[in-house]
């Protein structure tokens, strides 16, 4: 059966052109396993106007100045199915829509952001590289961004404007500003940032997070500012932050910093307000190995070698090693 030029039905699969509306299915329910196939965006944006699951069957290119896919409904799943969105303004724009997921494909060459999702958004297993703004952006709380690459974008690789995000297993390298940014240091909270790589981001930090964040097991090297920069009451554990143009790790007050490797940074190895620093390695940094803004900070079991100076402020709670001697 054919309706106009845009929609045909075949084996439970529906082909949709410029505007997608499940209501056009004449009331016939889709099987639970069915996905609605997305057509082209060469002339006008694809508009997803109803909840459901959608799938690409080929690569897409949008007309210059237009988004490729505009999501106008909540509770939408988009499976890129291994295909790519190769040109347009924003590849997938779900601004203001809750619980939109995007998986399994590539978005590149956009003049704006690659992918924008809202509250509860999920982006997994996507390559969002070489776009004109952020690679992946979440505007809202409770986003999950996992297993993606977000490299060579003109602003941030990954940006989250909200709280309670889970950001894991991504690469965010060689972006023009920050690799991963979860709000500013005084906004956004309870973000969990684990197992990411954020290297060589030109004008910003490798990882920048808000307060009350957990930053664990990441690598942030050779960035234009700090390797990792977080707000107050965060926990920064088990990261590698080397060869950055400012500090390896820079944090606010009431922060626990443990088990990190911060070597060969142009500034301090670790800069903190009031903090507990434990079992970190800080070698050959241009400033202090540990630089505390408050004498109320404590440090224990750290190894500090060949820094410009070893420690500023703080109280040694048990033996640390400074250039091979207890300190």
Express each pLDDT in 19-47 by its tens digit: 333 333 333 334 435 788 888 888 889 89
- What was the pLDDT predicted at 114? 96
Cα distance between residue 72 and residue 46, in whole Å = 10
**Same domain, yes or no: 206 and 254:** yes
- Residue 5 domain-assigned (yes or no): no
> 242 to each of 99, 214, 266, how far by Cα in Å?
37, 19, 9
Residue 43 domain flag? yes
Asked, for residue 163, whether it belongs to a domain, the answer is no
Residue at 179 is within a domain = no
Buried b (16+ CB within 10 A) or exposed e, 128-138: bbbbbbbbbbb
118 plus 212 within the same structural domain = no
**Domain match, 90 and 144 both:** yes
* pTM across the whole model: 0.88
The percent helix, strand, coil of the chain (3-state, each to 5) is 0, 40, 55
Per-residue confidence (pLDDT) for residue 222, from 0 to 100: 97
User: Can you give the residue range of the structural domain that contains 86?
Assistant: 11-155
Tell me, yes or no, whether 87 and 218 share the same domain.
Answer: no
Both 213 and 306 in a single domain? yes
Of 112, 132, 155, which one is at a domain's C-terminal end?
Answer: 155
Domain identity same for 120 and 251: no
For residue range 206-249, what is the model confidence (pLDDT) as tens digits?
A: 999 888 999 999 999 999 999 999 989 999 999 999 999 999 99
Domain boundary among 155, 173, 197: 155
Does any domain span residue 127?
Answer: yes
Q: Are residues 148 and 253 in the same domain?
A: no
Task: Read off the pLDDT of each residue in 307-317 and give the average, rounded to a whole number.
Answer: 94
- Please report, for residues 62, 188, 207, 249, 286, the alpha-carbon distance to residue 178 in angstroms, rounded to integers and kept in the order given: 27, 16, 7, 14, 22
Which single residue is written with the structure tokens 């005084």?
186
Task: Name the token pair of 56.
Answer: 């690409």
In this predicted model, what pLDDT tens digit does every residue of 77-115 receive, in sequence order?
999 999 999 988 999 999 999 999 999 999 999 999 999
Q: Is residue 168 assigned to a domain?
A: no
Answer yes or no: do 224 and 283 share one domain. yes
Q: State the total domains in the chain.
A: 2
Place of tokens 């969105």: 85
């Amino acid at each position: 059966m054919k309706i106009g030029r845009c929609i045909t039905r075949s084996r439970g699969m529906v082909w949709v052109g410029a505007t997608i509306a499940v209501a056009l299915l004449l009331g016939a329910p889709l099987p639970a396993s069915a996905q609605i196939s997305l057509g082209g965006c060469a002339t006008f944006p694809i508009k997803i106007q109803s909840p459901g699951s959608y799938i690409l069957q080929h690569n897409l290119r949008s007309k210059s100045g237009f988004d490729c896919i505009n999501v106008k409904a909540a509770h939408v799943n988009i499976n890129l199915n291994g295909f790519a969105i190769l040109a347009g303004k924003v590849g997938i724009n779900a601004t203001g829509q809750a619980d939109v997921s995007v998986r399994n494909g590539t978005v590149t060459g956009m003049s704006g952001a690659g992918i924008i999702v809202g509250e509860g958004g999920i982006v997994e297993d996507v390559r969002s590289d070489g776009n004109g703004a952020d690679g992946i952006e979440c505007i809202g709380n409770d986003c999950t961004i996992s297993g993606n690459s977000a490299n060579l974008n003109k602003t941030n690789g990954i940006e989250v404007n909200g709280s309670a995000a889970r950001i894991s297993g991504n690469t965010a390298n060689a972006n023009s500003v920050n690799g991963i940014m979860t709000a500013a240091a005084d906004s956004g909270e309870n973000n969990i940032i684990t197992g990411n790589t954020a290297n060589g981001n030109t004008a910003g930090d490798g990882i920048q997070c808000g307060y009350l964040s957990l930053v664990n097991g990441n690598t942030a090297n050779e960035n234009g500012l700090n390797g990792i920069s977080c707000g107050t009451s965060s926990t920064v554990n088990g990261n590698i932050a080397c060869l950055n143009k400012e500090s390896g790790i820079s944090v606010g007050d009431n922060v626990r910093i443990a088990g990190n490797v911060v070597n060969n940074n142009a500034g301090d190895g670790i800069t903190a307000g009031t903090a507990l620093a434990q079992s970190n390695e800080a070698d050959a940094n241009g400033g202090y190995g540990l630089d505390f803004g408050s004498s109320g900070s404590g440090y224990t079991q750290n190894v500090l070698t060949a820094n410009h100076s070893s420690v500023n402020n703080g109280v040694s709670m048990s033996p640390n090693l400074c250039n091979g001697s207890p300190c």
